[in-house]
Amino acid sequence: MRLHEIQSIEILAGYDNTFAFIADPENLPRWAEAFAAVQENRARLRTPRGETEIALEVEHDVRSGIVDWRMTFADGSVAFANSRLTRGSDGRLVYAIAAGRDRGSIARAVAYARSRAGASESARGA
């Protein structure tokens, strides 16, 4: 049996901007340290043995807040990363992800989402 660590964090930002940021695979290198680069449906991952190319598929549903990644390696093996963004009753968001060792990833995602939300609100004159 494998155990998986679930990490979650509270986010003080708008749902739509935050979801769009998380669901866009090209943003992964900004907050997921394992991703060196992403372009279209391909990614380059950093591993203990060096960088490796993978196929990357993303499934997401804005209404339910689900963002799931399917990563297919050159040897045909497949890995999944599953996450969900939820709205709290007080207007705050909670982002949860089945995570590996990179505890900084979720914090980087939040920092970037906040900066983008602030930029969008400033642009609207809020």
* 27-62 per-position pLDDT tens digit: 999 988 889 999 999 999 988 888 999 999 999 999
Q: How far apart, in whole angstroms, are the C-alpha atoms of residue 57 and residue 68?
A: 8
Q: What is the pLDDT of residue 8?
A: 87
pTM above 0.85, yes or no: no
Any idea which fold 5-121 has? Alpha-D-Glucose-1,6-Bisphosphate; Chain A, domain 4 (3.30.530)
Count the Cβ atoms, other than its own, within 10 Å of residue 4.
Answer: 9
Average pLDDT, the chain: 81
Can you give the residue ranges of every domain in the chain?
A: 5-121
Stretches where the chain sits below pLDDT 50 are: 100-105, 119-126
Residue ranges of alpha helices (H) inside the chain are 15-23, 28-31, 104-123
Q: What is the pLDDT of residue 114?
A: 56
Q: What is the pLDDT of residue 91?
A: 81
